[in-house]
Amino acid sequence: MLTHRPRRLRQSGPMRNLVAQNRLAPADLILPVFVKEGAEQPIDISSMPGVQQHSMESLKAAARDAAAAGVGGIMLFGVPETLDARGTAGVDPNGILNVAIREVIAEVGDEMVVMADTCLDEFTDHGHCGVLDEAGNVDNDATNEIYARMAVAQAEAGVHVVSPSGMMDGQVGVIRVALDEAGYQHTAILAYSAKYASAFYGPFREAVDSALTGDRKTYQMDSANRTEAILETELDIQEGADMVMVKPAMSYLDILRDVADMSTVPVAAYQISGEYAMIEAAAANGWIEREPAMLESLTAIRRAGAQNILTYYATEAARLLA
């Protein structure tokens, strides 16, 4: 006779639902969006079916749809018309990202948390996340000075959360001081703390028309490393991060679990462009079922310890969960 029959709790939908240990909720999801300067119409991103570079109008509509579906946050990325070596358009109050912040805050600022990417790669003509020194290396401290000005410009535009994603040492501390000195004590920082150099960012490069040649391996983390994620997270929390992030998500669920276990602040994870593209491509070929795969992937990220999930599926997933 079998005393333990774990299948008893799997026998029906209501039973499984009753004992489910992890649940996805729309409020935990954050939708990343791209807005392209000068675009009259949204432009499809071929490697991310269903995702677009928005015009200002379609961006506002996407923000409204997300808010209506109960999505908790929106993360803005700008695609500027003009690039230069120092990413000047990122600091300019009239730059595309700062204009978009104002528009989205006016549209949905009372209903959802509005966040912006605080990084130079979308704005530099060489595509790196920072400025280069004479030798062509990314100059950590010179980059931090620009991040500080960029964060203040975003706060001036009304953003609720700035999100440094460039993996410069000390970036969170420099940004916190700059925000406070400028009077933006209430602007929060979501730090991309454990961000790995990943081949799965491929489609994002199309999404932001990236000019990058080479790679980001001198500033983003090496996928072989684990404890370094703890160090990076500890440093960011000490420097004043209000939330931390692990990125990518699906190939780094072990890291996410490690960080969730040690973090004293909320932990987010980013289901990145290549993860989205893989699910979409397999589903388009009929090799996997799209919606169950989407929800399973998000549940796995949740189970690994993410409070918040940045996902291109946010609005659709929120509707499915409602």
Binding site for ligand PBG (CB under 6 A): 117, 119, 121, 129, 165, 201, 204, 216, 272-273
Q: Which of 36, 60, 195, 217 is catalytic?
A: 195
**Which residue number, 220 or 233, has a Cβ lying nearer to ligand PBG?**
220
Structure tokens at 26: 């729309």
Closest to ligand PBG by CB, 117 vs 239, is: 117
Minimum distance from CB of 204 to ligand PBG (Å)? 3
Phi-psi map region of 183: left, alpha, beta (phi>0 left; psi -120 to 50 alpha): left
Query: Which lies closer to ligand PBG via its Cβ, residue 72 or residue 127?
Result: 127
Nearer Cβ to ligand PBG (83/272): 272
The answer to whether the beta carbons of residues 216 and 199 sit under 8 Å apart is no
Strand partners, 36: 79
Between 110 and 222, CB nearer to ligand PBG = 222
247 is catalytic: yes
Tokens, residue 182: 């400028």
Nearer to ligand PBG, 42 or 106 (CB): 42
CB of 19 to ligand PBG, least distance (A): 33
Minimal distance in Å, beta carbon 183 to ligand PBG? 26
SS (H, E, C) the chain: CCCCCHHHHHCCHHHHHHHCCCCCCHHHEEEEEEEECCCCCCEECCCCCCCEEECHHHHHHHHHHHHHCCCCEEEEEEECCCCECCCHHHCCCCCHHHHHHHHHHHHHCCCCEEEEEECCCCCECCCCCCCECCCCCECHHHHHHHHHHHHHHHHHCCCCEEEECCCCCCHHHHHHHHHHHCCCCCCEEEEEEEEECCHHHHHHHHHCCCCCCCCCCCCCECCCCCHHHHHHHHHHHHHCCCEEEEECCHHHHHHHHHHHHHCCCCEEEEECHHHHHHHHHHHHCCCCCHHHHHHHHHHHHHHCCCCEEEECCHHHHHHHHC
Q: How many CB atoms sit inside 10 A of residue 87's CB?
A: 27
Residue 57 CB, shortest distance to ligand PBG, in Å, is 23
> Which residue lies nearer to ligand PBG by CB, 106 or 199?
199
Enter the tokens of residue 171: 């970036």
Kindly state the tokens that stand for 135.
């030798």
Is 195 a known active-site residue?
Answer: yes
**Residues designated catalytic:** 195, 247
